[in-house]
Structure 1
């Protein structure tokens, strides 16, 4: 295996997807492949990787990301990027975005949609002016911290996720389920902030970048609890996907009590 000396880390959660696109990843990235599938990975791709680890198939990509953070740490570079092994369904300009790291925010969404061909989200929301970065497609999803529903469109998935979580934990309607999950995973300060707000921001498909100094701020015990949650109940993996950006420092939106309100 050849070792690259990049300034950033790219963590890939693979099942059975082709990874030929990894050969086009800018050399500034160290590539880490975590494989939960049975099909082989091309030798050239393995050679490009800094590390290649086979994992049992559990916990969706959340388990993969947390395995990397618990065993490898935040890395010595500037950013760590997390992605599924086929990023292009959710982020058609993923490779172009990797090259624009100098313009990223502290916690950078890198996705555009869930499945555009079936209208999730609707085409009216996938227009050039909606992109955060001119010339490439980047659109974070706004969602309710109480229900998990997106704010701009209607889909059946959030009903299953939010309803399933309430049923699993026997929570009544009206409870901030995002705050509940964060508190359960030993992130009380972030849970308190979530409790004081109504809206979150997510990167669809759990494709995002984080400055490593922010990763260092997440307590190891919280990473362990998040990993236990991800492999413990299927719905928890979706909560990780929705809340990653906030776990690493992204601000919540729309406070319950506006400044100056009595």
Structure 2
């Protein structure tokens, strides 16, 4: 009777895109973690033991962080990777419900990993949009001045076509629109390292998000991690 060899790589790891957020919640989550820091220096004593901290320039939003990590670790990814913003908790439960705690996030990630989930957006909602990211709130007066692309549409269709060399669908259903998600290793490796380098080049061509390229990736992560095939008609939801 033959048995499959055990997975030699860790089962679940976190990748956190941090700017100025307090990362004290990582201690309670208690999972292996790489923090990519684009803001003030972190005190290692404030982080769980063994946390790796990598300094990055403050460009390209979390898409730059996630793509940089995938390229650097392409051949040694854990079975599941949770990609998280520095403060993911505002997006994990509807506003009328109690906020998800770090312990709750840990439990959810472990459950998704135990189910061998291929891809899961962690926000409580999905977004349905057209090729310009509409409807969106990027002209919200409260957000004016936060980044150079304020007030513009989101080039979802253009970035899709640049990534996949395929006509864009008319509609997209974004399942990881807040940039918080869990992805199985095989889903990541279904795309070549060259694909991720091409994606990173698109982000780096718009480092200040003046054209909202980073926002476009927030609406395309489910397509990026859908595997080798892509749909050419909408709504695009894989």
1:40 aligns with 42
Q: Is 1:156 aligned to residue 137 of structure 2?
A: yes
Task: Specify the SS of the correspondent of 1:218.
Answer: coil
CA drift of 1:39 comes to: 3.7
Q: Following TM superposition, by how much is the alpha carbon of 1:74 offset from its aligned partner in structure 2, in angstroms?
A: 6.2
Choose between structure 1 and 2: higher helix proportion: 1
Q: Whole-Å Cα distance in 1 between the matches of residues 205 and 118 of structure 2?
A: 30
Name 1:95's counterpart in structure 2: 106
CA contact (8 A) 1:75 1:212 kept: no
- Per the TM alignment, residue 178 of structure 1 is displaced from its structure 2 partner at its CA by 3.3
Residue 248 of structure 1 pairs with residue 225 of structure 2? yes
Q: Is the 8 A contact 1:109 1:203 kept in 2?
A: yes
In the superposition, the TM-score normalised over structure 2's length comes to 0.73
Where in structure 1 are there 5+ consecutive unaligned residues? Answer: 113-138, 166-176, 257-262
Q: Determine the structure 2 residue equivalent to 1:132.
A: none
Q: Which of residues 182, 187, 211 is equivalent to 1:209?
A: 182
Paired with 1:33 and 1:42, the residues of 2 have a C-alpha distance of 11
Instruction: Measure the CA separation in 2 of the matches of 1:245 and 1:86.
Output: 21
Q: Does 1:20 align with 2:24?
A: yes
What are the Cα deviations for residues 135-165 of structure 1, in whole angstroms up to 9, with x where unaligned? xxxx3x1322323125xxxx43289789545
Q: Distance in 1 between matches of 2:220 and 2:151?
A: 13
1:106 aligns with 2:118: yes
Question: Residue 236 in 1 paired to residue 217 in 2?
Answer: no
- How far has the Cα of 1:252 moved from its partner? 6.3
Distance 1:198 1:253, change over 3 A: farther
Moved over 6 A (4+): 158-162, 250-254
**Aligned partner of 2:13 among 9, 12, 15:** 9
Number of aligned positions between the proteins: 202
Equivalent position SS for 2:15:
strand
For 2:234 and 2:161, the matched residues in 1 are separated by 18
